[in-house]
Structure 1
């Protein structure tokens, strides 16, 4: 287990605790970059796990690689500092790996399922990773890996601000895909402030646009249009992937979703436009 932190956020204590509370023993290492003192944070909570502190900022791919190098367990999973592992998270992963699956993808659940802003944030980012989705509708991310894959195909790109997991998966053979295992559920702490939600989606859109323009010949406007088109998928996927009151609150959040998606799409356009000006288009 590699827990990835940036600037030692207080919430990383809860992330590590969620792993220590699993029903199976885990090899855990925390990789924190950009400053702060995670060791002191964890010690203050009575937690003793290996910590690697790197003063400069690392992109996620680099932090993943540091954690891979610092561990020995045959299967490797990652947890961001703003996430929690639900009960059974590790056990279900290990069960699938021991059954022969080399990559196991996970579902995402909302930290605040009764808050409309958090519901909107959750649907925008994770509409294709809702726990009720069938395998043919699910996006295969939040993947744990058989360590031997890194020996055969290398590590994560350390220079990419985002999309390092997509880049790595694209280097692997097309078959088999990561197996979809909705029993593996990760809680993501979603924004509960409308202003912060819009600002976050714009930033994410800019990073997404910068990544897309380097890998596709499409125009920035096409990237904008493709991103905003997701508004047609949200309702459908929420109805399939959620149930009960979770679905009800998700439906109520749709107007916020559509506005936030528009803002994200503008960010995608801006990031793609700036990336194209910087000469990042594929040759």
Structure 2
């Protein structure tokens, strides 16, 4: 009999992009057996796309667009393995991504957070995009300075604390993890590496960061009983932290290119800060994210 997988991986797609196949392939290429399900929403035909690429996994196509929480929950419901991880269609799982996660879970961790690598480490715009979004998930960071995202969970947590909020356009993982007692919150495991495909054009970067900022501002608006205070400043002050985090989190040529991208980082942070200010005042009309 085939070994029953202990880790389920939910790959989340939006409109079945061509990149979805590469994301799924990176999971199939892991060196341990996995339970894999694709949840694609917003149109497109993930089943046909994957079949055309010779990939045979369970795929759920939903015509309506799902926010990330709803897509996560569909995947949780469609799998049975005792631990559950998630991967977006614009990401790739590095070698041992699954094995090391499962090792930490078996050692007793209820939730395991991961580090993120830049898809284009020699492109300055992509470096800037990576730093603005993932400066606190660089692989060299200490547990003290790292943000705990890209998390896999013990399935029992969903039975005990509920699943993800399906109404939130962003921050559904933050909201869920806030329900967990301190002892069950994610451990930082930088050996678990995910590659994120970053923007390589300046216009694309600024537009993307504005949208991210607006979603963040709308999130602040949704969790605070009063009008969020100074969301622009709350985001833009990150410019003070970038150099320090780059020094700790990167090395060699990756650090050099990251430092060269800092002027673009500040410009992108301005765009994100502007979006946060608008989102805090008017909410999010960008349609959410995966």
Q: 1:111: which partner in 2?
A: 119
Give the match's secondary structure for 1:76. strand
Give the match's secondary structure for 1:101. coil
Mapped pair 1:229 → 2:245: no
Write the mapping of 1:154-173 to structure 2, written as runs, cut at 5 A.
154-173=162-181
Deviation at 1:213, TM superposition (A): 1.5
In structure 2, how many angstroms separate the alpha carbons of the residues matched to 1:104 and 1:199?
31
Q: Hey, which bits of structure 1, 4+ residues long, moved more than 6 A?
A: none
Deviation at 1:174, TM superposition (A): 2.1
In structure 2, how many angstroms separate the alpha carbons of the residues matched to 1:266 and 1:66?
33
Mapped pair 1:257 → 2:265: yes
In structure 2, how many angstroms separate the alpha carbons of the residues matched to 1:206 and 1:70?
32
In structure 2, how many angstroms separate the alpha carbons of the residues matched to 1:70 and 1:145?
15
User: What is the RMSD of the two structures over their aligned residues, measured on CA atoms?
Assistant: 1.2
Give the match's secondary structure for 2:114. strand
Write the mapping of 1:233-248 to structure 2, written as runs, cut at 5 A.
233-248=241-256
**TM-score (normalizing by structure 2):** 0.93
Aligned residues: 276
Q: 1:280: which partner in 2?
A: none
Q: 2:187: which partner in 1?
A: 179
Stretches of structure 2 that go unaligned for 5 or more consecutive residues are 1-8, 285-290
Stretches of structure 1 that go unaligned for 5 or more consecutive residues are 277-283
Give the match's secondary structure for 2:112. strand
Q: 1:40: which partner in 2?
A: 48
Check the 8 A contact 2:171/2:219 in 1, yes or no: yes
Q: 1:195: which partner in 2?
A: 203
Mapped pair 1:149 → 2:148: no
Deviation at 1:223, TM superposition (A): 1.0
1:207 is aligned, of 188, 194, 215, to 215
> Per-residue CA shift, 1:198-249, capped at 9, x if unaligned?
0000011111000002223575561110100000001110110000000000
**TM-score (normalizing by structure 1):** 0.96
Give the match's secondary structure for 1:156. coil
Residue 115 to residue 192, structure 1, CA distance change in 2 (3 Å) = same
Check the 8 A contact 2:14/2:42 in 1, yes or no: yes
In structure 1, how many angstroms separate the alpha carbons of the residues matched to 2:269 and 2:134?
13
In structure 2, how many angstroms separate the alpha carbons of the residues matched to 1:139 and 1:263?
22
1:31 is aligned, of 15, 27, 39, to 39
Give the match's secondary structure for 1:137. coil
Check the 8 A contact 1:2/1:64 in 2, yes or no: yes
Mapped pair 1:268 → 2:264: no
Deviation at 1:40, TM superposition (A): 1.0
Check the 8 A contact 1:131/1:182 in 2, yes or no: yes
Q: 1:120: which partner in 2?
A: 128
Q: 1:136: which partner in 2?
A: 144
